[in-house]
Structure 1
């Protein structure tokens, strides 16, 4: 039995100093590591309280990666070296071979950590964009130019791609890469179309800390990954699944060995997965169920909407009313009537928002995930 150790992860170029430690972790050597954001004492304390570094842990655990779940209390996905290697190897196989990676995400989260781990597996040195003060697309041209070939990749979340698409030089830089993995949240269809029309090779990824990050690419499971649907719920299995949650041996998400029960709703069509939304975020309004992500996908086609988030707020008559928070695409904000028209035509009037809130930015929890709890708290 080994002991879990806190593993401070710095921002910027200093993160490359972690590569030798991660190489040993991938070889199954050294202690189990809990990545925490170096310098963020409040977050470190929160993760330490929840995940208990210094306490024993199974010998086969290489990393314990904190989730950014909706409850606000982090759980720690226990990932073995075998699972992490399977994830990295399957990713490179799907993308056409190993290559160099550009890190644009905080590396204490699974998506950023995977950029470092894939770099170790590929025996390449990652190029790093410092995002400690936010993502600046103006940094992309120089960063991409510094990457070694022949194959070059990066991983972004949709909010970063939204920003990058406003900068022609950043768009041109991303179009030089062999693949831009895009995950962490649903990708609006208009954003995906604009990026691909600009020559960016976007690969949509689906996964979570519990599956070593993205394990389904453009709807198709990676090699060694299994997907099934149970009662509308996505269930993931195979080589990349975590061995469970830290200190939660009876958690129902891992009740079946080798499988992880997600909180996502989805459908399989001839082996291709389509995720339709979060089961735990559905809105019940007037006795009908509305899935926020489905409504957001419809609103994303509105020409005056750059980003949006849909939540349910308490309503004496309806139980919950549908409300949308909108980041305008320009100076003019969309009207409620115009948004209701877009949604009603595609989904029906019951799903159409009853209020619009204009905001400069959407709150996030973890990289790229909308913090709906924070939005509801505003009201």
Structure 2
């Protein structure tokens, strides 16, 4: 990777030597230069070392995005340890089942202190005046740890416990490099950390920033306020709609937006373009350290071509990927469990096609079900339902049926339950009889509170309890 080879030291130390007075981090009330940031990370890493943190250990980092959480992740890596950013909304029962298998050495909890229930040693985040040299002999060198395990990111697996995908820093930088070869993100630009670090898309923002040596904004204000002075952001379409509606009389500094999470209508991208904002859509996954394919959003269903350093192929309608950004495996009981690969190609279990010169993601192969002898792909039905103007998102969940084997149930994110009957009438001439849902439910608010996207598994479990 050409850009990475210039790092003879930790990235923040590299930028501190190359551009010490350039702004690196913008927060609610301050701006840190690369030199100040590097000193803070080194001081905090020394603080963690003095508390017992050592190379190759594992630290849970629980909380919402904040400057303290960001500094903690970088300081943990500086010690050569692994970091597990944890969604503070993960339920206690799930953590009781999962955490004993992940060999946790320390925790840092910036949220409600739930991790105190698990009796892990706690690392204290202590703000100190940086007084340590930029090279500390007892902390590892960058080139000694760049290939070793660095992050554990939990997947939103469709069954069982989440898996902890294990990535090296080299893999994260490889992923970042692919995006930077496509999108225009320069040193004077600023990317908002708009997605949580416990999600691979949030990690993607962090590593692009470190690789480019640009600016990163970590803000606690509402989105419209946080975006002031920001040139780049990662958003879902609903966020961008609301943003554009709220800024009719205000100027935006946004130049590029990486969109994900839903079909992107041309009306949205056209409105954004009229305000000078370029929209990008992409396809990625936790096991690949974020984005694999990306393109300028153009209203078509495809996700474009593979980014630099990525290879994509279709085998029996399954998308398979090969890249240096691929996870080392899944961390479980002190061992690295292998990914589901074939001669280095990751078997994604995503159904895909290559149409009109670009790849399309058609759904999950394991979501497909049989109804009356017909193959039903839930995502095909969801795409139709999602095109209704009152629908934010939807899920088709199969339930057992004596006559047909299985039939689909629709769980729809709408503002009011009574809209569901209107949607059902609207769908009658748009779906085949075997595709048409036998029931319509409104998506409950508690199903939308577990992360940046709704878990299909949780929706399915909720339907089965109805």
TM-score by length of 1: 0.81
Cα distance in 1, alignment partners of residues 91 and 440 from structure 2: 36
Q: Give the corresponding residue for 1:139.
A: 222
Q: Per-residue displacement from partner, 1:195-237 (whole Å, max 9, x unpaired)?
A: 2122153211211110001111132211000000111111111
Residue 53 (structure 1) aligned to one of 84, 104, 129: 104
Cα distance in 2, alignment partners of residues 300 and 73 from structure 1: 29
- My pick for the range that moved more, 72-81 or 362-371, is 362-371
Does the CA contact (< 8 Å) of 1:171 and 1:198 recur in 2?
no
Does the CA contact (< 8 Å) of 1:174 and 1:180 recur in 2?
no
**Counterparts in 2 of 1:332 and 1:201: CA distance versus 1, 3 Å:** farther
- My pick for the range that moved more, 218-227 or 71-80, is 71-80
Paired residues, number: 352
- My pick for the range that moved more, 302-311 or 69-78, is 302-311
Cα distance in 2, alignment partners of residues 240 and 301 from structure 1: 34
**Counterparts in 2 of 1:374 and 1:155: CA distance versus 1, 3 Å:** farther
Give, in angstroms, the shift of residue 264 of structure 1: 0.7
Task: Return the index of the structure with the highest Cα Rg.
Answer: 2
Structure 1 spans left out of the alignment, 5+ residues: 131-137
Cα distance in 1, alignment partners of residues 307 and 342 from structure 2: 23
Cα distance in 2, alignment partners of residues 118 and 44 from structure 1: 30
Q: Give the corresponding residue for 1:70.
A: 158
Cα distance in 2, alignment partners of residues 46 and 128 from structure 1: 32
Does the CA contact (< 8 Å) of 1:140 and 1:170 recur in 2?
no
CA RMSD between the two structures: 3.2
Q: Give the corresponding residue for 1:272.
A: 358
Secondary structure at 2:388 match in 1: coil
Residue 165 (structure 1) aligned to one of 220, 241, 247: 241
Give, in angstroms, the shift of residue 360 of structure 1: 5.1
Does the CA contact (< 8 Å) of 2:58 and 2:84 recur in 1?
yes
**Counterparts in 2 of 1:337 and 1:271: CA distance versus 1, 3 Å:** closer
Give, in angstroms, the shift of residue 35 of structure 1: 2.2
Cα distance in 1, alignment partners of residues 283 and 454 from structure 2: 13
TM-score by length of 2: 0.67
Q: How do 1:1-379 and structure 2 match up within 5 A?
A: 3-13=56-66, 14-18=68-72, 20-21=74-75, 24=78, 30-37=80-87, 42=92, 45-54=96-105, 60-98=148-186, 99-130=189-220, 139-147=222-230, 152-156=231-235, 158=236, 161-166=237-242, 168-169=245-246, 176-183=253-260, 185=261, 187-189=262-264, 192-199=265-272, 200-218=277-295, 219=303, 220-247=305-332, 251=338, 253-257=340-344, 259-269=345-355, 272-328=358-414, 333-335=419-421, 337-344=424-431, 348-359=432-443, 361=445, 363-364=447-448, 366-371=451-456, 372-379=459-466
Structure 2 spans left out of the alignment, 5+ residues: 1-53, 107-144, 296-302
Does the CA contact (< 8 Å) of 2:146 and 2:170 recur in 1?
no
Secondary structure at 2:395 match in 1: strand
Secondary structure at 1:305 match in 2: coil
**Counterparts in 2 of 1:222 and 1:23: CA distance versus 1, 3 Å:** farther
